[in-house]
Amino acid sequence: MEIGAVAAMRYVKDGIRAARLVMQYTEHTLLVGEKASLFAISMGLPGPMNLSSEESLHKWNKWKENDCQPNFRKNVSPSNSCGPYHPNINSDFSDTSCSSLNHMGTTIRKILPVNIFNHDTISMAVVDKVGHVAVGTSTNGATSKIPGRVGDGPIPGSSAYADDEVGACGATGDGDIMMRFLPCYQVIESMRRGMQPKIAAEDAISRIAIKFPNFIGAVFAVSKNGLHAGACHGWTFQYSVRVPSMEDVEVFTVTPQTASPHVP
């Protein structure tokens, strides 16, 4: 139950090491923004440094030339430019009722494509020789995100969760949706109740897909004994595994599943 996380951290390259410093040297769980950067540098990480590359600047300039499209704005005007943005004139913020919300049905959400060209999440779980389990997730976040956005990467139970008594889980995909369901916490608790990793992973993904049938995401699950599996929705997902007896990693491919929940 030890944990550390950083979010919206700039000017420091090694986010996962910064998160570990939070875990090792503070009583906090999550540090964010400029102060997270200052903390990481004060604890010995290199910085401040410019993290932009020629490739990232080229992508940003192309996005600006395309009127900042696509982006993650909704219910704003203008909808097809770089702003400044204002709430739509038709938005009625005085209406506090929930009558317009579809609580029981599915939600069709406009999402940006998630693929190898704009996706960089790395999640890794380790079981050591005495049985301790650890997991960490690191990401640059969603391409074209609104400044200040925090995704599921640093959210406990969403992109990663581990328990020595059970195992570990890592996740990737549409973090703004996935964090609403804490899929990795769900996986670990399902495994705690006796589900095998494959069924636990599929169940967690199905819970999301039922509400958001067009979401894109995946999880992997590994038990404390090394049994592992993955599940995904909206794309084909790959994860790799290595044990001491192997000379190299083995890559496993997981195909998308339908949104049918498993009942324990």
Q: Is 121 a catalytic residue?
A: yes
Query: Residue 256, Cβ neighbours under 10 Å: how many?
Result: 15
Q: Nearest 5°: phi and psi at 120?
A: -140, 20
Catalytic residue among 29, 106, 107, 121: 121
Q: Tokens 């090694």 label which residue?
A: 14
The 3-state secondary structure of the chain reads: CCCCEEECCCCCCCHHHHHHHHHHHCCCCEEEHHHHHHHHHHCCCCCCCCCCCHHHHHHHHHHHHCCCCCCCCCCEECCCCCCCCEECCCCCCCCCCCCCCCCCCCCCCCCCCCCCCCCCCEEEEEECCCCCEEEEEECCCCCCCCCCCCCCCCCECCCEEEECCCEEEEEEECHHHHCCCCHHHHHHHHHHCCCCHHHHHHHHHHHHHHHCCCCCEEEEEEECCCCEEEEEECCCEEEEECCCCCCCCEEEEECCCCCCCCCC
**Residues forming the active site:** 121
